[in-house]
Chain A
Amino acid sequence: MFKWIHKFGSPPFVYGVSKAISPWIGVASLILFAWGLYMGLVKAPPDYEQGEVYRIIYVHVPAAWMSMFVYVVMAISSAIFIIWRLKLADVVAESSALIGASFTFLALVTGSIWGRPTWGTWWEWDARLTSELVLLFLYLGYMALRAAIEHPQSAARAAAILAIVGVINIPIIHFSVEWWNSLHQPATITRADGPKMHISMLIPLFIMLGAFQLYYFHHLLVKMRAGMLMRDRRARWVSERVEGGRL
């Protein structure tokens, strides 16, 4: 097991794989984006209650999903980094933070824009939006801690601990916010999304989810390459690649 991790977790190997597959993933993501947006914005029927407004879910829902997904990826790779001292896992976590925060921010903004016509306000203390806001704070804390500690190895380990603490807390935060919201719920329209949706509205949503997912992997692979070069800048495989012009 351990040997296996070390072979397939060795930076030169991963760098090569990443370089080979990341363009394909990028192209696939672009195709899915075009297809999903066309299906969602043009083909899908308008909503019975919300009319055309609901179409923002094709960005909002995938962004919200990715914001959680990326944090979990960050926490799992942080745990791998702490337990097996696998430096590549730290590269994954580090490369994920900014894009995860961006997904969270996108989910907040689209949620807020969606709230304007449905609730009549730009911001409603809705449980999901509030959780998302706390999640954004967690991302910002992670990046701030990483930036604040000078010694790179210590920064990596401290940030990893924070990510693990955060991921244990996310369900608790989510639950507490749901509970708090159910107490203070004013009589507003609850938004119709989720399983009640018609299949013709759901399919574009899944396509968009796939597009976001692939976009993240593409971004991760490209950013990891930069991270590996930076971290291993004194290693021979890097200088060989630089001299051979094979970056």
Chain B
Amino acid sequence: MTEGALLQANDIITWRGETCVLDGVSLNVSHGDVVQIVGPNGSGKTTLLRTLAGLALADEGEVYWQGAALHTLRAEFQNELLYLGHKPGISGVLTPEQNLAAFLQLRHAVPDQNALLEALHALGLGERLALPCRWLSAGQQRRVALARLALEPVTLWILDEPLNALDVNGVEWVVSQIETHAANGGAVVFTTHQTMPFNTVQPIRFKLSDAVLGS
């Protein structure tokens, strides 16, 4: 075990049918790290992120949070985690504000209404506050979910393709959020197929090879 590692994955093996999706993956994430998981389609990026977040169980290997196995301290870990997956977690019938407030209130007491509105304005959703999210474009829905980056004071971000459907402004906003977060000692693990214009941080690239066929 590496001292001081925030999140640590040891020898993760995951099979999907007869295909080995993750073949003994080990990974360390510390405070201030920005880790980009890279690899072609089907190399297991999403599976790895889901395993790190504790959503998917690995067939072998273990994930540790501050030195303790994940399943032994689920709540403590999740209180320090913000995971955004392929599916943004946004209900189509609720407005952006209702969607966000429901998550914030569930996780951390009563949300700061001003901060919430400010984040939505910063993301260019100021005009769409009262619209049910199903009337928003895919990129706008993604922005609603991403607003949580600015609103939830947690340590670890796990972001699966956060730039999907985002335009240039959106990408810049996400980049600046990640840089601020890393500067404040937070950690980020993410995947993307786009190039990200980082200024102050240099992401650590973690390469996953192509899917290995089972013997």
Contact = CB atoms under 8 A, between A and B. Distances in A.
Asked if A and B form a direct contact in the complex, defined as CB atoms under 8 angstroms apart, the reply is: yes
B59 interface: yes
A234 B57 contact: no
Interface string A129-173: 000000000000000000000010100000000000000000000
Instruction: State the majority secondary structure of interface residues on B.
Output: loop
Interface in A39-86: none
Contacts of A234: 15, 214-215
Contacts, number: 6
A153 B57 contact: yes
6 contacts: A151-B16, A153-B57, A153-B59, A234-B15, A234-B214, A234-B215
Interface of A: 151, 153, 234
A151 B16 CA distance: 8
Contacts of A153: 57, 59
Interface string B54-85: 00010100000000000000000000000000
Interface string B157-188: 00000000000000000000000000000000
B90 to A, nearest CB: 25
A153 B47 CA distance: 15
Interface string B201-215: 000000000000011
Contacts of B16: 151
A131 B15 CA distance: 41
Nearest to B57: A153
A152 to B, nearest CB: 9
Contacts of A151: 16
Contacts of B59: 153
A234 B214 CA distance: 9
A236 B215 CA distance: 12
A151 B214 CA distance: 16
A234 B18 CA distance: 10
A234 B24 CA distance: 14
Nearest to A239: B215
B215 to A, nearest CB: 7
B52 to A, nearest CB: 18
Contacts of B214: 234
Contacts of B215: 234
A153 B21 CA distance: 15
